[in-house]
């Protein structure tokens, strides 16, 4: 059973290029996964397609109404026998990690809900099984976060990356940042490729890469080692 990914969004047109190109496009064409886009505005309660309103208590911007979103989630759920994990994209969510991406890639169905404007009416939260944030910054909408989730998940699906599959040794695979990578030319503007990589000595290359991954992680992301950032970190 391939993974089905539903997306509830006010801007389905934003996904076109991303879902048609490169590795994602090929995975979809080869039927290794399916992505179904649903326009939230189709579930508005009035002819004008109203899906948001001013926040009670005042304040800037608009808030997404709960009714259209509940209708949309229930309708999308009903389109397939697989229950699906409902994921709300929000800066208030759990920060997305490779570990969570691996978890999502093992599911049979995801229903990604994209916010917009100032965010969701609080009473939307119970509809979600999981809230995810792609980082501590504020975007104009949940569409780019949803695309990031789709990209990170689909590349882990069987046969998507194929032979050139680098997922085993890449950043975060072992909880570390990835080691430095080099390709031709051997020398560029005075910068040479480390000799060990040209040695053909695979044990030495593996040891060098492991050291580099640890050193780079310690230098840049001590948090990944569960260590507090150093004083001047
Ligand atoms: C976001 C994030 C994000 C906040 C208000 C869209 C925006 C509007 N989503 N990770 N960072 N969302 O900034 O997931 O709803």
Percent of the chain beyond pLDDT 70?
Answer: 93
CB 199 within 8 A of CB 159: no
pLDDT for position 175? 83
The pick from 9, 88, 90 for probing ligand 1's pocket by mutation, whose C-beta has the most ligand atoms within 8 angstroms, reads 90
pLDDT tens readout for residues 93-110: 999 999 999 999 999 999
The torsion of the CA quartet 68, 74, 78, 79, rounded to 10 degrees, works out to: 40
Q: What average pLDDT does the structure give for the chain?
A: 93
* Distance of CA 138 from the midpoint of ligand 1 (Å): 5
pLDDT tens readout for residues 157-179: 999 987 655 565 576 777 889 99
Atom of ligand 1 nearest to the CA of 132: 14
pLDDT for position 167? 62
Strand partners, 157: none
Is this model's pTM higher than 0.75 or not? yes
Alpha-carbon distance of 172 to 194, in angstroms, equals 23
CB 27 within 8 A of CB 4: no
Q: What is the mean pLDDT of residues 44-72?
A: 95
CB 117 within 8 A of CB 52: yes
| Position 139 pLDDT exceeds 60 | yes
Which range is least confidently modeled, 113-122, 123-132, 133-142? 113-122
* Distance of CA 1 from the midpoint of ligand 1 (Å): 31
């Amino acid at each position: 059973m391939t993974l089905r990914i539903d997306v509830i969004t006010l801007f389905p047109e934003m996904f076109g290029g991303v879902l048609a190109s490169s590795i994602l496009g090929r995975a979809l064409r080869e039927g290794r996964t399916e992505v179904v886009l649903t326009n939230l505005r189709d579930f508005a309660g009035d002819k004008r397609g109203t899906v948001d309103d001013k926040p009670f208590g005042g304040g800037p911007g608009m808030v997404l109404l709960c009714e259209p979103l509940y209708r949309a989630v229930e309708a999308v759920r009903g389109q397939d026998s697989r229950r699906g994990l409902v994921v709300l994209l929000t800066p208030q969510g759990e920060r997305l990690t490779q570990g969570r991406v691996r978890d999502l890639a093992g599911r049979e169905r995801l229903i990604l809900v994209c916010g917009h404007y100032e965010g969701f009416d609080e009473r939307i939260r119970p509809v979600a099984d999981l809230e995810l944030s792609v980082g501590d910054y504020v975007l104009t909408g949940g569409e780019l976060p949803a695309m990031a989730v789709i990209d990170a998940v689909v590349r882990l699906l069987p046969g998507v990356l194929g032979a050139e599959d680098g997922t085993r040794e890449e950043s975060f695979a072992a909880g570390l940042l990835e080691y430095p990578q080099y390709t031709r030319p051997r020398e560029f503007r005075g910068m040479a490729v480390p000799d060990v990589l040209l040695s053909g000595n695979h044990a030495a290359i593996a040891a060098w890469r492991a050291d580099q991954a640890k050193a780079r992680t310690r230098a840049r992301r001590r948090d990944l080692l569960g260590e507090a950032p150093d004083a001047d970190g």
